[in-house]
Structure 1
Amino acid sequence: MGLNRPDPHFDWALDGTGHDRSQTAYRLIVRHGETTVWDSGKVASEQTQQIAYAGHALVSDRYYAWSVMVWDESDEASDWAETQYFRTGLMQPEDWHASWIARYFVLPVGREAPNDNLYDNRWQARPADHLRRDFSSRTKPVRATVYVTALGLYELHLNGERVGEDVMAPGWTDYHQRVEYQSHDVTALIAAGDNTIGAMLGEGWYSGRVGHNQRRAGNHYGGRPALLCQLHLEYADGRIERIVTDESWTTSQGPVCYSDFLMGELYDARLELDGWAEPGFDASRWQPVEVFSPDPRPPRLEASRAPQVREIVRFPGRVLHRAKTGGYIYDLGQNIAGYCELQLSGKAGDRFTLRHGEMLDGEGELYVANLRHAVATDHYIARGEGRERFKPRFTFHGFHYVELTLPEGISPESVSLTGIAIHNDLKLTGAMRTGSPMVNQLISNIEWSQRDNFLSVPTDCPQRDERYGWSADAQVFWKTAGYVMDVSAFLEKWFEDIAEAQLPDGAFTDVAPSKPLNPYRLTAQPGAPGWGDAPVILAWQHWLRYGDRALIEKHYDRLVAWLKHIADANPDHLRINAVYNNYGDWLSIGPASDRTMVATAYWVHVVDLMARLSDVIGRTDMVAHYVAQAEAVRAAFMKAFVDADGRITGDTQTAYLLALDFSILPPELDARAGQHLLRKLDEADGHLQTGFLGVKHLCPVLSDIGASTRAYDLLFNETYPSWGFSIVQGATTIWERWDGWTEDRGFQSVNMNSFNHYAYGAVGEWLYARVAGIDWDEAAPGYSTICMRPQFDRRLGWVEARYDAPTGRIESQWRIEGDVVTWTIAVPPNCRAAITLPSAPLTLVAGDRPLPVAGKDFALGSGRYTISLSI
């Protein structure tokens, strides 16, 4: 729905019956109307990913259709795949003819809100603006496309109809540098004759509140929202007419008296402007807009890279009881990011108030102390005309419970309350169920923390006065995230935010976009070890999952600059000079890991990855550079932190996890470090003690050192601290802290205590990769080879998992009965599975055909197989 570049890449996945199926050739065709702009011809290749366009130059503002056919291992041709479509965007600056428009700062007197005590706007959040323009179309166009964006948030209307399903559009970017626009086909909404286009504008990330610096909670990028819109009407004779934002538009305020991410929304239905986006509406009292150029310069306009935020899942609210405040407590049954929809009847002026929270306190009251300065309260003032419906437009909250305060005389039985979860509409790619209800709840909690925090950027939490895109939270979770959803385009978008936040000295930042964090600093906050390192790690994981070189090639020089920034600051190869920030193993429990040790371990890791990334894009000159640097940093690490017995400074679980997973130690010390790790688990009575940086490595490393039973022990643990502990307390998302609530201490400090924070959900990668046995192969990116090393455990009983990889659907199911495991797998065509089992199979069946097998390690081609083995 809008391309930023003239050379798109094409992917497809394969399906088919039988075994050892493969693609030997393909033919790809791209058409515009009846014209073929590219016909690849029959290309002898097994490649199904990242096929670069090589046809005639693509033109802005056009629809294209494409399809592909393939030939199999017997040179038999498939049918053509179902035709798919894409549209180019406005790829050149000169394609834009619209101007930014906004309400004047100094306004003539207009209609004011009723002067009563229903309004409480102590935060001075702004009303939403309505903007409109009438236009005429002599005949109905054969095609109508609208390109639209905002500084702030927008909702677009045509002839009284809402355009699209996006919410919180256009999403969060550094508006001083770049704004993403959205494209919509609106042909069906345009009539011959009179038409009206209109938009509502909210503050959002642009001029509203985000972040926890209350001295400057809003106006991070500008002082007022603005709209940019360009409607293209294409007629049968080929003529194109453009309706653009300019001085001919007018503006007024309406029922949204204020709307702010942290404060909430106040909607007075008595102020509704009936028919405001329809022809014939009397706009004679509306005010002219101002055409202006954003300060300090107009941002770049680029098409959206990822699907937008939309309403995804609805949860009916259930009344629990009446609160001491007089309101009614509703339970959604799930902690979500989004808002509520009310259906109600009332008198004109009746106020309905919604307060949102994640938890209830010990007396059943709504717990909101952990929201800090976020008010998270919505108000609806009734119009008094029959059944009314309300849901906020330009705010969202993180909540499991809602306190609804009703006007006198109205009972909760007459009101319908529904929670609506919103997030970027990314395709769900993975699903997993097991024989353990607790583990199933953990899998659900991981997915919902991802859903609730994948909202334009991967945020840390959706509820309090923060909601930043913290980079370490994302990098430890990213492998898990890729199992749950297709995160390819989402990462490409966020990588642009990361790149734009990079500082002149090469430092990446802790968060991206970085503007609202510490806004009084002259520059953004440089990234800490594990945080600033995230782009290198994310680029590597993107390559392994999607086989996509483009992101590496585009941002490679920025990654080089970050490594140079570290090396220049630490000439002795110990990462001591990270004084700008060093969080260590953030929020760990028990003994704290030495921060310099953690920082240096991460330096080894990212230098190793840079050598591999350099090799991927053919930068052989840099491979040698990073290999040598990695050797030097390893040597410094060994000298500074490791003794002859493999004991590492700090003697923590995380110390041994990082050293083992980052391959820092010489082989002769790996076994000793593994023993120390097991000792640290024993000293903690079999409990984890890791923080954000350590948790990702815990179960995978235990499996790698042959201690999968200990990994399962941690999985099934239900006492503090553990994943199971929060589930026993009723958690439906991942907590920020292991001790967010405990029986002896109650709630943790209100200064930082989110109950919806995905970082500790990084265990999800172990569940998919090692429990189910669906993992990538670093030697064959993009899942052309699937590394299948399942870890069986009687306590789990059975597993059913699937993952829609870029190459096709992978399935893995196993069940233990007595002393025998029966494992069924499905490998997509054109792929192979590299199998590693704890013992040689008893039987191996391809469909209904037995196959001979020798040993625990073997490979299989595509198809469905059933394997049995003793445990």
Structure 2
Amino acid sequence: MSDALSALRAIRLRCESLNPTLGLNGARPRFTWSLGGKALGQGACRLLIGEDRDAVASGRADLWDSGRRETSGLGASYDGPPLPSDRHLWWSVQLWDEVGRPAPVPDPAELFTGLFAEDWQAEWIARSFVPAAGRPVPQDDAYDNRFQARPADYLRRELRLPEAPVRATAYTTALGLYELHVNGTRIGSDVLAPGWTDYHTRVEYQVHDVTGHLRAGGNALGAILGEGWYSGRVGHNQRRAGNHYGGRPAFLCQIHLHYADGSREVLSSDDGWTCARGPILYSDFLAGEAFDARKEMPGWSAPGYDDADWQPVETGDPEPRAPELNAARAQPVREVERLGTTELAPYGSERIYDLGQNIAGYCELKVTAEPGTRIRLRHAERLTETGALYTENLRYAVSEDVYIARGGGEEVYTPRFTFHGFQYVGLAVESGALLSEPVLTGIALQTDMPRTGQIDTGNELLNKLLSNIFWSQRDNFIAVPTDCPQRDERYGWTADAQVFWRTAGFNMDTTAFATKYIEDLIDGQSPEGAFPDVAPTKPLNPYRLTPQPGAPGWGDGPIIIAWHDYLRTGRTDLLQRAWEPFVAWMDYIEAANPDGVRLNRVNNNYGDWLNVGPRSDPALVASAYWVHIADLMGKIAGVLGRDRTRWHRLAARLRAAFRGAFADGEGRLSGDTQTAYLLALDFDLLEDRSPAVARLGQLFEEADWHLQTGFLGVRHVCPVVADELSERRAVDLLLKESFPSWGFSIRHGATTTWERWDGWTPERGFQSASMNSFNHYSFGSVGEWIWSRLAGIDWDEAAPGFASIRMRPIFDERIGHLAAGYDAPSGRIESAWQIDGETGRWTVSIPPGATAEVTLPRTATDPVLAGAPLQSAPLGPGAHVIEFGYRADED
């Protein structure tokens, strides 16, 4: 063994898929890392966990040292002594390369163990409906509150500490939304915390290090509570107030203090807190927010504030039951990008501003105005032909923010407990006067997942499509994977998520997000085994949870999402967690469809939702998906070491039933649509593929090579056309600009992907306002094909987690060049190619420990690697340059 230091590097350290890790939900957390550097691979690892960051960084651990373990695996589960609660730890991993040379210990990652169930002693606190004797009754400000949305609650408590703690950790959450304040300072950068869960089942808490914010003597704790998903408007919630999970927000807070002498103290939310109303007159996802700066309460969360008029809070568990408290499983929602605005021509009394990008978020308003000046901001995705805000597609979502100026100098306002989907903003001064030009800045929100991949090409249209796909994901991955961020919906629709999940994982690290969403889906599963259409599910009232059972392609979503997560990451814990719920879903379907054709328990069978052209047979679509998830169950059983017999037999029976019910024996399928053949071919449902391939080609010819698919069919278009018909034809479809196509919306100003191919057309204008979002990622599912085929970066089912990489690029002179970089779980993968007349060059980079199976397209001739003809053997770690002749495909 050599004593030389290895060039191997452990990068992107994660515990439970997060860094930092803010609380644990199990006794055996999973630690993972990726590989960088120039070594061939990893031969051994050693995990280190301790309370001293510098000690861990130098290779010493006072809590757990796993010792050297011979393994090439890029992860390990904790198997040391039980981890204590309420600890702030650091961890790292020492690696050895394939020949035994040690690698440097990377910078440690932060880990808070959080609280366990038995540690909680805080009480839920909320505004009391009964005013205290001798104190004035708080009045709701009725300014323009036609929405019945409620004011935010301000909570506070003062306390004295004998000395400043050496460590102080706050564990906080809410039924609703909250901000935590300590001694006049807002804590953390989370937005819309704690996110959306089924509040009757579980709520996630946040962890904040507040050591530097507490001091000896007087201190004050504060919180602001908004309604959010808990008691505000959610989904198709028209003119009435929310109260879906409960009637008012509640707050829970527990702060653990550690002193220099080893003593400890716990501060908890209890009946010693008080409550008042403040400047937030109302705040609601669909209505928006109204803020009266004249009602601000300077110093309200600092010690010494006069709260004599504040009311006592009410304590007690929420009804119908107290939820389970879990550490947050995914990254928090945060402000992730700021966008300047351009002022356009005014429309009536409104000044119109353009962000240049459709976002989910809100606007920061900076202005100087007379006291009491009322400013209204309205939000829209598009403008009408006359330059007005197009808001009809918002349905009952009002999406307005109102600011009433304090006066006396420059003021800056951003909403707290609402967000909008918009590109354009209308600003109207309803009373008073501005004393300066207003400055509007758009602020985009998303669950703050690390970005994992970026592609740049020589084709402007393709670059814009990639940008639109990314932005639609960013705008709709907010606590849950929503369908759209603007109208009165914003649900976590399961089919939308499953068709897009593979694309999503190329753009961002969705590992933790998948863990949280699968838990939401399991929470929403009915006692009969039905997964819901949306998750988290929305009860009709606080006491009756009645989720809508999932439709084919929708209720099937959890199985598909979990399988794609496994192929991307290689982890099996999510499959293991969801196995029994998956079996229950399969039982639910099979019990109602004994003949193998999926006609019953299809609930709202949406079919190939929002297709254009001929409508696909919903029963065919449903039955095709049933075969697909039966196949996946067999694969999952194999991964988990379970018996696969049932699933193999089921899949075979369902294939036979599909052919008998939907194929005519001469190559025609029921409905005779693009989607019918795409599903049948991609799910391998037919004995003889050739008639279906031929008919699919005819259907595209009859459509002049345009798309006629909906949400479920579109994901399969380019993969099937490229593999079965022609790679060039697949690129034709990708780059087409006439209606209907991806390029059509771009040519007409889209900065995100549209919900409908015909969301707007020159002939008809806007589609039906009842269902017309301009920010919807489902049709962006083509992103996975751009990554896997155009960039040539694809997973291999035989070695998941990109330990083996399938590289089957498609070269096309219309694209010219392409450069892609992807931070896979195995490490950084790069693929860059360019076409120069009749020659081409392709450069790839493979991370340590991984290999790449390379298949060049027929447009590449006489490929040469390192001066010799390219062989079929896998490429190993490192950079490789392949040169070839280029011959354009004539198809």
Instruction: Confirm whether residue 105 of structure 1 aligns to residue 129 of structure 2.
Output: yes
Q: Give the match for residue 55 of structure 1.
A: 80
1:841–1:370 CA distance, 2 compared to 1 (3 A): same
What are the residue-to-residue correspondences of 1:64-463 with 2, within 5 Å?
64-91=89-116, 93-107=117-131, 110=136, 119-214=143-238, 217-324=241-348, 326-406=349-429, 410=433, 414-463=437-486
Shift of 1:31: 2.0
| Offset of residue 864 of structure 1 | 0.3
Counterpart residue type for residue 884 of structure 2: L
Match of 1:698 among 694, 717, 721: 717
Superimposed CA distance per residue, residues 617-650 of structure 1 (whole angstroms, 9 cap, x where no aligned partner): 1112xx1000000000000001111133322111
Deviations 1:329-362 (A, max 9, x none): 0000000000011111111110111000000001
Structure 2 residue identity aligned to 1:373: Y
Structure 1 counterpart of 2:641: 618
Distance 1:62 1:851, change over 3 A: farther
The CA deviation at 1:818 is: 1.0
Q: Kindly provide the amino acid, as one letter, of the partner of residue 233 in structure 1.
A: L
CA contact (8 A) 1:213 1:517 kept: no
State the alpha-carbon separation in 2 of the partners of residues 581 and 330 from structure 1. Answer: 40
Contact 1:206 1:219 in 2 (8 A): yes
Structure 2 length-normalised TM: 0.94
Local SS of the residue matching 2:779: helix
State the one-letter code of the partner of 2:158: D
1:685 maps to: 704
- Establish whether residue 779 from structure 1 lines up as the match of residue 794 from structure 2: no
Corresponding position of 1:820: 839
Deviation of the 1:124 alpha carbon: 1.3
Deviates more, 1:640-649 or 1:589-598: 640-649
Q: State the 1:520 CA deviation.
A: 11
- 1:853 counterpart letter in structure 2: L
The answer to whether the Cα contact below 8 Å between 1:799 and 1:815 also exists between their aligned partners in 2 is yes
Q: Deviations over 1:129-169 (max 9, x none)?
A: 00000111111111010000000000110001010000100
After superposition, give the CA deviation of every residue in 1:753-811 in whole Å (9 maximum; x if it has no partner).
00000000000000101000001001111110011000111111110111100111100
Aligned to 1:773, the other structure's residue is in SS state: coil
Structure 1, residues 197-224: CA drift from partner, whole Å, max 9, x if none? 1000000000000111436550000000
Closer/same/farther in 2, CA of residues 113 and 505 from structure 1, 3 Å limit: closer
1:38 is the counterpart of 2:59: no
Q: How big is the shift at 1:706?
A: 4.8
Please give the per-residue CA displacement for 1:803-860, whole angstroms capped at 9, x wherever unaligned. Answer: 1001111000000011222100000000000111124763544xxx545533xx4411
Alignment equivalent of 2:661, drawn from 640, 644, 647: 640
Amino acid of the residue matched to residue 70 of structure 2? A
| Secondary structure class of the residue paired with 2:874 | strand
Distance 1:493 1:349 in 2: 44
The residue that corresponds to 2:511 in the other structure is 488
Q: Could you tell me whether the CA contact under 8 Å between 2:140 and 2:151 is conserved in 1? A: no
Which 10-residue stretch deviates more, 331-340 or 216-225?
Answer: 216-225
Alpha-carbon distance change, 283 to 573 in structure 1, aligned in 2, over 3 angstroms = same
Other structure's SS at 1:705 match: helix
Letter in 2 for 1:745: R
Distance in 2 (alpha carbons) for counterparts of 1:515 and 1:8: 31
Residue 17 of structure 2 is matched in structure 1 by none
Alignment of 1:380-779 (within 5 A): 380-406=403-429, 410=433, 414-516=437-539, 523-620=546-643, 623-666=644-687, 669-779=688-798
- Do 2:43 and 2:100's aligned partners in 1 also have CA atoms closer than 8 Å? yes
- Output the CA distance in 1 between the equivalents of 2:543 and 2:251: 28
Q: How far, CA to CA, are the matches of 2:708 and 2:773 in structure 1?
A: 19
- Answer whether contact 1:508 1:526 (CA < 8 A) is retained: yes
1:24 to 20, 29, 43: 43
Q: For 1:680-718, what per-residue CA distance to the aligned partner results, in whole angstroms no more than 9, with x for missing partners?
A: 111111101000000001101112225111111111111
Contact 2:846 2:876 in 1 (8 A): yes
Unaligned runs of 5+ in 2: 1-21, 56-60, 887-891
Aligned equivalents of 2:430, 2:243: Cα separation in 1: 35
CA shift, 1:114, in A, is 10
Compared CA separation, residues 528 and 382, structure 1 to 2 (3 A):
same
1:806 and 1:204 map into 2 onto residues whose CA distance is 34
Output the CA distance in 2 between the equivalents of 1:726 and 1:703.
23
Matched positions, count = 855
Aligned residues of 1:210 and 1:516 also touching (Cα < 8 A): no
**What TM-score does the superposition give when structure 1 sets the normalisation length?**
0.96
* CA distance 1:299–1:587, change in 2 (3 Å): same
Quote the Cα distance in structure 2 between the aligned partners of 1:850 and 1:37.
Answer: 53
Which of 862, 866, 873 in structure 2 is aligned with 1:842?
862
Aligned equivalents of 2:239 and 2:653: distance in 1? 45
Cα distance in 2, alignment partners of residues 183 and 134 from structure 1: 21
Alpha-carbon distance, 1:81 to partner? 1.7
C-alpha separation in 2, matches of 1:317 and 1:79: 46
- The Cα RMSD (Å) is 1.7
Letter in 1 for 2:424: Y
Structure 1 residue runs of 5 or longer lacking an equivalent are: none
- In 1, the alpha carbon distance for the partners of 2:543 and 2:82 equals 46
Match of 2:815 in 1: 796
Contact 2:373 2:433 in 1 (8 A): no
Which deviations, in whole Å up to 9, do the C-alpha atoms of 1:469-507 show, x marking residues without a partner? Answer: 000000000000000000010111111110010001101
Q: 1:409 to 1:172 in 2, by over 3 A?
A: closer
| Identity score, percent | 56
CA contact (8 A) 1:588 1:692 kept: yes
Kept in 1: contact 2:243–2:541 (CA 8 A): no
1:518, 1:335 → 2: CA distance?
Answer: 33
